[in-house]
Amino acid sequence: MLKTFILTIFPKLTKDLLNLSILKRAINKKILEIEIINIRDFTDDKHKKVDDYIYGIKKGMLFKFEPLYKALTYSKKKCKNPYVILPSPKGKILNSNIIKDLSKLNEIIFIAPNYEGIDERIIRFINEEISIGDYVISSGELAVFVILESIIRKLVIDENSYIEDSFSLFNIPFLLENPQYTRPNKLINPLNNNFNLEVPEYLVKGNHKEIIKKNLENSLTQTIYKKPELYIKFYKYFQIKKKSKKIYYPHTFLKFLNYKEIDEILYNSILNNVIPS
């Protein structure tokens, strides 16, 4: 079970968010335990003030050190070996490798920042700053839930489902998911009645080996077209594995493919982006 503390000034919002996601399912299954800590409960003044003006010329308010430190200390005392995370645009951008590492932890304390951020002196008491992207939002609670839900999804869902997602497809962290379809397998194009929208034939036929090969090819095609920087990472990753003496299969799904076949798939995926279909 993952024991989690969320330090926030909006406990009601945080509680409401817990009832709207996969997190509620995880709590019911005893996979996740969450305690919401109201930072305002650790203030000394009657107005429960947790923020103050920023030193210097910047306008806005900042989380004060004292109530945040007291809330953090209180939470740490209820843990054996907690890992403290602060969502911050200054941190490493969240990715599948970070999620994989975080999913191995037993205790996590999240600080949900608001206003213009937190007093810098609290940073020495946290383990990691994590960014959910190169942008800024007002609610630190939403950032916490992005990180926490990604961890819980890794813990809750079936492993075979997880490795079919983007960024974990076939256990490879650099690929987008291949295109997917559902019934019916043939639709009339609303823009051109003479042209049908059809599910690719290889999916309809049901040849398992061909489906896996085509899914990998289409995944690579999507990655090259939509996120070329990810494909470059994948290509370097694959070449390193290829040069190693040990034969490497990211997942048992690919065991029937040799390196020559995978090279051919790589070549086809590049052609798919050069030659219009």
**Catalytic annotation, pick one of 89, 119, 128, 264:** 89
Q: What is the DSSP string of 82-127?
A: -EEEEEEEEEEEP-HHHHHHHTT-SEEEEE---TT-B-GGGGGG-S
66: exposed, middle or buried (Cβ count in 10 Å: 0-12, 13-18, 19+): middle
**DSSP bridge pairs for 84:** 109
What is the 3-class SS of 47-78, one letter each residue? CCCCEEECCCCCCCEEECHHHHHHHHHHHHHC
What's CA 51's distance to the chain center, in Å?
30
User: Is 165 an active-site residue?
Assistant: yes
User: Is 183 an active-site residue?
Assistant: no
User: Is 89 an active-site residue?
Assistant: yes
User: Is 87 an active-site residue?
Assistant: no
**Catalytic annotation, pick one of 153, 164, 217, 250:** 153
What's CA 237's distance to the chain center, in Å?
20
What's CA 232's distance to the chain center, in Å?
20
Rounded CA-CA distance 200/190 in Å is: 19
241: exposed, middle or buried (Cβ count in 10 Å: 0-12, 13-18, 19+): middle
**Catalytic annotation, pick one of 116, 128, 129, 177:** 116
**Catalytic annotation, pick one of 66, 119, 129, 165:** 165
Q: Which residues are catalytic?
A: 89, 116, 153, 165
